[in-house]
Structure 1
Amino acid sequence: MPPFSFLLRSLSLSLRLSLSFPAVSLDGALVLAVAPLCSCDVCASYLSSSWSSEFPNLCDWYTHLLRSSPTGTIHVHVLRNTITANPVNVEHIVRARFDNYPKGKPFNAILGDLLGRGIFNADGESWRFQRKMASLELGSVSVRAYAFDIVRGEIETRLVPLLASRMGCGNVDLQDVFRRFSFDSICKFSFGLDPGCLQLSLPVSSFALAFDLASRLSAERAAHVSHGVWKAKRLLNVGSERRLRDAIKLVNALAEEVIRQRRRLGSFATRNDLLSRFMGTVDDDVYLRDIVISFLLAGRDTVASALTGFFWLLSRNPEVERLIRGESDLVMGSSAGDVLASFEQMQHMHYLHAAVHESMRLFPPVQFDSKFASADDMLPDGTAVGGGTRVTYHPYAMGRMQRIWGPDCLEFRPERWLQDGVFRPESLYKFPVFQAGPRACLGKEMAVVEMKSVALALVRRFDVRVVGTDQQARFSPGLTATMSGGLPVIVQERDSIYQK
């Protein structure tokens, strides 16, 4: 490994070659970004973070810029990133020119240490192989039934008892509860492993903490103007990259041990967890680890994020809560103690289905998704895209665009998804929360069922009120939307008025 002073001298040479490079911090040491500084207002605001004086989150600033753009598309030159909230462009990127917009090597590098060759970080044949396998497994009736049983059991034996035990005990961080719930559920589904995060004592899970840290630090790599910054930190094993390496070591150690134990047990064909089913086809344990970690990331963080946004909105819109309860009473009866709906019963709850989709319109679990153009291209709105540059579509901004959703786009109104009382889906290019095209989310239906099961159980059993609903939602950096400071709520017995 080269000494730190040698690295600084090498970087200083770049300064003498060009004085147009911005300085950035490397955990206390001054180094130089390799991207040229742009003098436009957008890039200047991004580099100085001056946008934060007016907007609570970077995604809200991007939303403002995209609303102001006639095409719904903007450039952040210092990031070599074209960002769009135009549904026609989204369809072009994820379907019409799918082959020209892979995840790309820069994205592979950013998440490679955590996700390896997993499906969410793969392109080409590796992606096609995993996609085909995942489609077969997640489409299986037995696997879906297995997932539904896990969710119901977790709600009945842990989630509801936990919140019941916290009634009258002050604030509860509902976001933390949902992250624990979804981590237990997805670990059972993916590994056949129960980490027990949602037990009444709320134990600390070293695996969950390491996974959270690895996800957050991996996401922070993408915020650097230059990939050379985090790569240099990784080379020197300092700061955030050292913490990331340690966190991934812990994640890998547990994953590898679970795989070893499962191999010793054998009988893969008789088990329904994803690991066992994939082990019937894949012999490479490192590849198995990559596949399962990817599903763990998708199934845990996205569901917890979506549920957090749902209850934040529900607390501000009690009429929506009343209508969900009324619909469920018609289907299930009016007993608040009966909180678990069958799959068939939920099929008749169109308003609940609409409310879940409406909450994800405003608070998508993944606020943006990026690809890297393989070759020069022209988007349908006339925006030129250079080969090798980043192209991002922004579901968070799209949900707040009047030109897409109308003048009431900022309102939480489930009725926009209903036609004569029946749920009516919108185009996936207008609502790309689950992506679209060949990479459309295979676990979408299972995720929505899990969300509806949790939402229905809590709405029928409790009054959940967010503390400080007058404040704007603020998000922490990460691969998925995480509310900064959690979601503090007060849990009470359900108001008797709803039981009449």
Structure 2
Amino acid sequence: MDILNTIIILFSTLLIPLLLILSFVALKIFVGKSINNPQYPPVKGTVFSLLIHIKDLYDYHAAIAAEHSTYRILAPAQSYIYTTEPRNIEHFLKTSFNKYSKGESSRENMADLFGRGILLADGEEWKHQRKLASSEFSTRILRDFGCSVFRKNAAKLVRVVSQFSDVEGRVFDMQGLLMRCTLDSIFKVGFGVELNCLEGSSEETTEFMKSFDALNALVLWRFLDPLWKLKRFLHIGSEAFLRREAKIVDDFVYQLIWKKRQLLALKGDSNNGKEDILSRFLRESEKDPEKMNDKYLRDIVLNFMIAGKDSTAGTLSWFFYMLCKNPLVQEKVAQEMRDVFGDRFDNSIDDFIENITDANLEQMHYLHAALSETLRLYPAVPVDGKCADVEDTLPDGFRVKKGDEVFYVSYAMGRMPYIWGEDAKDFRPERWLNNGVFQPQSPFKFVAFHAGPRICLGKDFAYRQMKIVSTALLRFYRFKLAEETKDLTYKTLLTLHIDGDLPLCAISRTIF
């Protein structure tokens, strides 16, 4: 009897505080949100709805967006407003740019990954980073250096795939290879470091990659978990795990910065040290070492890495998946290569890849359309947005309260018939072409690279890398899914990755 009483008392002691916490959270979610006021977007759920649909989160948004182009999800501190209306997106990303910022809530949620880097910075801090990065991306030195690195790593990737194409029916994970290839490229172009992941990662690099991906998932979880701050305070659950992963990532990046400082000190004013992006920021940090300290540089490294590695590798993975699902499109891309390059390179990998020039790539309108069509359906960043710094009214008439988070849902937008027509869900590169020439769409309709003053600086850089890698691979191989009837889905992260592997088979193209 005493044991039973002890269990009841212990259970009550734990249950009562939990009920009080949940009651407090519920009050924060529903009080003061103007739920039934038609001047505000219709309420279609709470953060608990998002938690329930965590596995198919972006399709859940798409289902709501099919009925409501602007809607609200209630959170404890504010409302999350989601929209697929291009006019609204142009409004808060461009027309009323100064009324919206990344916001303290988003910065706090993502600080352990992005810190105060360019993706989260606001005001003068953002302008400073943007100016430096813009200057770097506009230089011919970086463009030529980047293309050289992309070609070199594309050649390595072709040779790795050749090991699998030699045996008929042998299956390999294309997404894993693309992740390693793009990681090699971004570290060389961005930070001047040879990782050689395609040739076999070191234990330290492998641990860093796993922790970086885990941190990506855990940061997104904070947007959905109303109790994450309590967990952080108590150092339990997902927040304890996040702290461990963040330390591994930080240790790796700080070591990278230290080594780069040492190298630059040895090189002095040599131009060789200025080829990569990190070198430029390190030189700049000498003007204001107190502000541009190692933490500042750490944030820059991780911001460029998630933009250069996760986004490009994820898009290329979806691209090859869609080519396998649409073999006619795959052969149209291959035919365009025949038309542009001819057959003068025989089977020499190095000769062919060395001749993948900007001039040749600019002629490949169908390839550009196929990559854009992939990004339309599988945008690298499926949801993104800003925070309202003042009360505002969107072009569709709905009001926004100060502090509300306003998101555009690019994943849902690509599937909306009221934006792209009745065949919106179909993979059809031809929608981007007019008489065989690529026709760009409004950046507020096709928001794969953000839009307005914060549009992605690396857009052309990303397209160039994706074209070089895909051209190299499709010149030498035809690809098919290991299980052709199996449909793959995404893993819910800040960036859109295929969940698990992308199991493909490669068949050598004996005749080009």
Interval containing the TM-score (normalised by the shorter chain) = 0.7 to 0.9
1:276 aligns with 2:276: no
Matches for 1:79-98 after TM superposition, within 5 Å? 80-98=79-97
1:365 aligned partner: 380
Q: Does the aligned pair in 2 maintain the 1:151–1:450 contact within 8 Å? A: yes
Range with greater deviation from structure 2 (464-473 or 360-369): 464-473
Q: Structure 1 pair 405/198, CA: closer, same or farther in 2 (3 Å)?
A: same
Q: Name the SS of the counterpart of 1:468 in structure 2.
A: coil
- Aligned to 1:365, the other structure's residue is in SS state coil
Query: How big is the shift at 1:152?
Result: 0.6
Q: Cα offset for 1:313?
A: 0.8
Q: CA deviation at 1:370?
A: 2.2
In structure 1, the residue corresponding to 2:318 is in which secondary structure? helix
Change (3 A) 1:19 1:331: closer
In 2, the alpha carbon distance for the partners of 1:118 and 1:452 equals 28
Are residue 36 (structure 1) and residue 30 (structure 2) matched?
A: yes
Moved more, 440-449 or 276-285: 276-285
- Residue 218 (structure 1) shift: 1.4
Give the 5 Å matches for 1:94-493: 94-156=93-155, 158-167=156-165, 168=167, 170-199=170-199, 205-224=206-225, 226=226, 229-265=227-263, 266=265, 267=268, 270=271, 271=273, 272-282=275-285, 283=289, 284-334=293-343, 337=347, 339-340=352-353, 341-493=356-508
Note the alpha carbon deviations across 1:44-67, whole angstroms, 9 max, x for none.
795386668xxx721112111111
For the residues of structure 2 that align with 1:165 and 1:477, how far apart are their CA atoms? 32
Further displaced range: 342-351 or 167-176: 167-176
Say if 2:74 is the partner of 1:74.
no
Question: Structure 1 residue 239: deviation in Å?
Answer: 2.2
Secondary structure, counterpart of 2:423 in structure 1:
coil
Q: Distance in 1 between matches of 2:47 and 2:103?
A: 27
Change (3 A) 1:487 1:397: same
Task: Provide TM-score, normalisation by structure 2.
Answer: 0.86
The aligned amino acid for 1:245 is R
Q: Distance in 1 between matches of 2:282 and 2:202?
A: 32
Larger Rg: 2
1:481, CA displacement in angstroms? Answer: 0.5
State the 1:331 CA deviation. 1.1
What SS does the corresponding residue of 1:432 show, helix, strand or coil?
coil
Structure 1 length normalisation: TM-score? Answer: 0.88
SS at match of 2:66: helix
**In 1, Cα distance between equivalents of 2:47 and 2:247:** 37
Structure 1: give runs of 5+ residues left out of the alignment.
1-7, 23-32
Give the Cα–Cα distance (whole angstroms) in 2 for the partners of residues 19 and 218 of structure 1.
25
Deviation at 1:468, TM superposition (A): 3.4
CA distance in 1, matches of 2:25, 2:298: 40
Post-superposition offset of 1:201: 7.8
User: Residue by residue, what CA displacement relative to the aligned partner does 1:351-393 show, whole Å, maximum 9, x if unpaired?
Assistant: 1111111111111111010211111111101111111111110
Q: Distance in 2 between matches of 1:100 and 1:430?
A: 21
Q: 1:378 to 1:201 in 2, by over 3 A?
A: closer
What is the count of residue pairs matched by the alignment?
471
Name the CA distance, whole Å, in 1 between partners of 2:438 and 2:221.
Answer: 38
Give the letter for the 2:336 counterpart: E
The 8 Å contact of residues 444 and 451 in structure 2, kept in 1 or not, is answered as yes
Q: Report the 3-state secondary structure (helix = DSSP H, G, I; strand = E; otherwise coil) of the residue aligned with 2:480.
A: strand
Shift of 1:35: 2.6
Change (3 A) 1:9 1:291: farther
Deviation at 1:285, TM superposition (A): 2.0
The answer (yes or no) to whether the contact 1:63–1:397 under 8 Å persists in 2 is yes
Q: How big is the shift at 1:125? A: 0.9
Higher mean C-alpha displacement, 200-209 vs 237-246? 200-209
Runs of 4+ with >6 A deviation: 8-11, 37-41, 201-204
Structure 2 unaligned runs (5+)?
1-11, 37-41
**Alpha-carbon contact 1:462-1:491 (below 8 Å) kept:** yes
Tell me, in whole angstroms, the C-alpha distance in 2 between the residues paired with 1:210 and 1:461: 34
CA distance in 1, matches of 2:484, 2:91: 38
Q: Percent of aligned positions with the same letter in both sequences? A: 35
Comparing 80-89 and 245-254, the one that deviates more:
245-254
Aligned residues of 2:47 and 2:224 also touching (Cα < 8 A): no
The alpha-carbon deviation at position 314 of structure 1 amounts to: 0.6
Q: RMSD value over aligned CA atoms?
A: 2.6
SS in 2 for 1:433: coil
**Higher deviation after alignment, 335-344 or 139-148:** 335-344
Give, in angstroms, the shift of residue 303 of structure 1.
0.3
Q: Deviations over 1:59-117 (max 9, x none)?
A: 11211111112xx1111124721100111111001001111221100010011122211
Range with bigger deviation, 174-183 or 266-275: 266-275
Q: What whole-Å deviation, never above 9, does each CA across 1:221-279 have from its counterpart, x for those lacking one?
A: 1122x2xx112222222222222212221222222222222222223661211111111
Structure 1 contact 73–82 (Cα < 8 Å) conserved: yes
- CA 110–36 in structure 1, closer or farther in 2 if over 3 Å, else same: same
How far does residue 477 in structure 1 lie from its aligned partner after superposition?
2.2
